[in-house]
Amino acid sequence: MESKRKIDRLVDETLESVASIDTVKTPPFFKEKVLNRMAQATKEDEKDVAIVPWFTPKLQAAALVCFVFLNAAALLTYSAEQSYNERVSSFAEVYGLSETDTDSYLYQN
Q: Which residues contact 103 (CB under 8 A, 6 or more apart)?
A: 109
Residue 89's SS3 state is: helix
Q: Tens digit of pLDDT for each residue in 4-26?
A: 889 999 998 888 888 888 888 88
pTM of the model as a whole:
0.34
- Contact predicate 66/73, CB 8 Å: no
Q: Tens digit of pLDDT for each residue in 30-69?
A: 999 999 988 888 776 666 555 677 778 898 999 999 999 9
Spans of all domains in the chain? 2-94
Say which amino acid occupies 40: Q
